Amino acid sequence: MENKNDISVKKITVDTVESDNGIRRTTNTATNTANNREDVALDQNLKVRKVVYFILGVFEVLFAFRLVFKLLGANPDSGFASIIYTVSGVFLAPFNAIFGTVKSQTSVLEYSTIVGMFVYALVAYGIVKVFEIYNTPRAKGIQ
């Protein structure tokens, strides 16, 4: 039984161009449309990868600001630092009890922020890989 996705189709385009000095030039362009389904899947994988890694980048920048602000002892009552602490605190809450914090006068090192950065990076990588596995077309002959 033949699967319609296994049929190879070639689209050939012939372009003839005449230059100013009267010489005709012909170019043949062959486009393979048999792998259209594979191209769509790869395009979807690329879009998902870009979106997931963009979101990861936003989280990582937010967490990096938090880490640096805490290390430098930024005033938590200032507007920008308060926003960073509040927003990042929501996403880092699951990691707060894993490790303690190291305090030195006004400086604070939160290990939970570093762990959160690492865990969110692994989760993003896992999402991209699962989507690629799920969305990659099967090879011919594998049922």
| Phi, psi angles (nearest 5°) of residue 30 | -105, 130
pLDDT tens column, 70-83: 999 999 899 999 99
Structure tokens that stand for 92 in this block: 């880092």
What value does the mean pLDDT take over residues 2-30?
A: 57
What value does the mean pLDDT take over residues 9-23?
A: 60
pLDDT tens column, 116-141: 999 999 999 999 999 888 877 665 55
Q: Report the pLDDT value the prediction gives residue 35, as an integer from 0 to 100.
A: 56
Domain limits, the chain: 36-135
Mean pLDDT of the chain: 80
Confidence of residue 20 (pLDDT cuts 50, 70, 90): low
Q: Report the pLDDT value the prediction gives residue 4, as an integer from 0 to 100.
A: 46
Q: Report the pLDDT value the prediction gives residue 113, as an integer from 0 to 100.
A: 94
Does the pLDDT at position 17 exceed 80?
Answer: no
> How does 34-65 read in b/e, with b if 16+ C-beta sit within 10 Å?
eeeeeeebeeebeebbeebbeebeebbebbeb
Residue pair 100/109 in contact (Cβ under 8 Å)? The answer is no
Does the pLDDT at position 34 exceed 90?
Answer: no
Counting beta carbons within 10 angstroms of the beta carbon of residue 66, is it exposed (0 to 12), middle (13 to 18) or buried (19 or more)?
buried
